[in-house]
Amino acid sequence: MPKTVHISGAVDAFYHALADRLHRAGAMLTDDPNEAEVTVGLGEGASGDVAIVPAHVEHGEASLVVRIHDLLVPEGAIDWSEEIIHEWADWVKDGAEGIHPPDIEARHWVHVRDATDALSLLILSDTDAAVQGVIDMSGRRAWTPKSVLEEMTLLWSRFTNALHHSHTVQSLTENTSPAASSYRPRNSRPDLGPLHDALLKAGGDGWRPLVSMRVALMEVFAHRDEDST
């Protein structure tokens, strides 16, 4: 049977992405928490049956807490870690001149579609498969600021060359994605074992994020272009 779900928190791109994914999974969404079989809280201080928070903030009372590290929302969402990506995209679009936005540690970016696919499975899981406690979510691979900026520069160059019909043999046969090489950061990746096991218990295939960094960055550029028109 489909579940009735109430979501509370800031109504931003992440909220809409999760609501849409739950709806497509068969959930009935309600504005009244008293009518809901499952209550989901988003953002700092979130509480409910399930609380979903950025890893750097505190959460309230919840049976299950999912802490998301380095969430990448191409449309932009307040306080979910991806603001630096949008700053870099604007810098690259402006010709990569002057002082670039500040460097950060390597991050384990996870695309919002991968995140909401997994979250919807956990939220709608059968009672006997419901997971409790605190689990972490992030991408599996770490990306340095340098590799992401190089990838952005390559993608933007190819876009502008196509726009102005200025491609050359070299521009079309450049090396594969600079972000294709993984990096082992000094800070260890969050432990994804509990998330993987929880998704298996809920009837999924475990934690297997599918959206590539290249696709994610192309979507970031597309949305930055929309914002500027």
- What domains sit in the chain, N to C, each tagged with a CATH number? 4-228 (3.40.50)
Pairwise CA distance, residues 219 & 157, whole Å: 15
Residues shown for the chain: 229
* Span 155-179, average pLDDT: 58
Residue owning tokens 């419901």: 130
Which phi and psi (to 5°) does residue 162 adopt? -70, -40
For the cut 90, the answer to whether the pLDDT of residue 223 exceeds it is no
Task: Provide the pLDDT for residue 79.
Answer: 82
Percent of the chain with pLDDT over 90: 57
Pairwise CA distance, residues 104 & 187, whole Å: 12
Nearest to 171 by CA among 180, 159, 179, 181: 159
- At 72-116, the pLDDT tens digits run 999 988 788 768 888 888 888 887 666 666 767 888 999 999 999
Is the model more confident about 209 or about 101? 209
* Span 146-150, average pLDDT: 86
**Three-state secondary structure call for residue 53:** strand
For the cut 50, the answer to whether the pLDDT of residue 169 exceeds it is no
Task: Provide the pLDDT for residue 185.
Answer: 53
Task: Provide the pLDDT for residue 163.
Answer: 55
For the cut 80, the answer to whether the pLDDT of residue 184 exceeds it is no
The beta strands (E) that lie in 84-217 are given as 110-111, 133-137
Task: Provide the pLDDT for residue 162.
Answer: 57
Task: Provide the pLDDT for residue 171.
Answer: 47
For the cut 50, the answer to whether the pLDDT of residue 167 exceeds it is no
What secondary structure, in 3-state letters, does the chain show?
Answer: CCCEEEEECCCCHHHHHHHHHHHHCCCEECCCHHHCCEEEEECCCCCEEEEEEECCCCCCCEEEEEEECCEECCCCCCCCCCHHHHHHHHHHHCCCCCCCCCCCCCECCEEHHHHHHHHHHHHCCCHHHCCCEEEEECCCCEECHHHHHHHHHHHHHHHHHHHCCCCCHHHHCCCCCHHHCCECCCCCCCCCHHHHHHHHHCCCCCCCCCCCHHHHHHHHHHHHHHHHC
* Span 203-217, average pLDDT: 94
Contact 51, 64 (CB under 8 A): yes
Residue 71: strand pairing partners: 110
